[in-house]
Amino acid sequence: MVIQQPSGQIKLTNVSLVRLRKERKRFEVACYQNKVQDYRKGIEKDMDEVLQIHQVFMNASKGLVASKEDLLKCFGTSNIDDIIKLILQKGEIQLSEKERQIMLNKINNEMLTIISAKCINPKSKKRYPPTMIHKALVELKFSPVVGKPPKLQALEAIKLLIAKQIIPIVRAKMEIKVNILKPVENKESLEKIQKLIIKKQKETEVTSNDTPYECIGLIDPVSYRDLVTLCSQIGSLQVLDMAVIDEGNN
């Protein structure tokens, strides 16, 4: 006798799941590995390329499909596309232990590379290799986590490294170019901008309001947001190099 698969059940294998809880119920969608992050970043826009099957489950591993009644009650709609989009954007990605370790290794490597590029030893003026940064972070008990961008975790790690100084470390300077159209008219703002540029490599003399002020120089990265705000009001700001090793005096 042939045993029929019960209706409302779909068998899936080798999937990555994204799970969202609503009204004490669990809803899942079955996806291809690595596609969810691409979708969230906007790299992959075709939902069908992300999904293994265009369906919402209560339990994907058991093939239990969510009923229309449950969807309507918990999401306020039974539109499958709208619900899937919500789950993909806000749900928690369920990873196997092997997948989690692979992702953690990738995040850790990206994080260490970013820190190495953005920081230097203030005495030698040289960058630290990722292996040395990793050793310092292990000592500080700082570990990367899944679900948070490597860049954000790198910035958090940099703050900790600079605060604790297990190794002598500072942020490398940023090289920028500032252009102010009416320097005399905006003298007060210009003076604030000049104070944020800690080392000027090239600077035009302010002689009149008709002559634009231009300066190429180095800034501390923590001053960047303030500089953006000031320049957006009276001129322009261009980043020439995100991390410069300044061989001169700080």
Model confidence pLDDT, tens digit, residues 216-237: 999 988 889 999 999 988 999 9
Report the 3 state secondary structure along 150-173.
HHHHHHHHHHHHHHHCCCCCEECE
Summarize pLDDT for 10-21 with one digit per residue, the tens: 454 457 889 999
Looking at per-residue confidence, does 61 or 2 come out higher?
61
Which of 81-85, 203-207, 228-232, 245-249 shows the lowest mean pLDDT across its residues? 245-249
Distance CA 210, CA 155 (A): 41
> CATH 1.10.10.900 spans which residues of the chain?
97-171
> CATH 3.30.70 spans which residues of the chain?
173-244
CATH-assigned architecture of domain 16-94 = 2-Layer Sandwich (3.30)
Asked whether the beta carbons of 89 and 40 are under 8 A apart, the reply is yes
Summarize pLDDT for 32-73 with one digit per residue, the tens: 867 887 888 888 888 888 998 899 999 888 889 999 999 999
Q: How many CA atoms does the CB half-sphere of 28 hold within 13 Å?
A: 22
pLDDT at 164: 94
CATH 1.20.1250.20 corresponds to the domain 97-171: no
pLDDT at 7: 44
| Residue percentage of the chain with pLDDT more than 70 | 92
- pTM for the full predicted model: 0.60
> CATH 3.30.1250.10 spans which residues of the chain?
16-94
Asked whether the beta carbons of 144 and 153 are under 8 A apart, the reply is yes
CATH-assigned architecture of domain 173-244 = 2-Layer Sandwich (3.30)
Which band of pLDDT confidence, cut at 50, 70 and 90, is reported for residue 5?
very low
Asked whether the beta carbons of 88 and 40 are under 8 A apart, the reply is yes
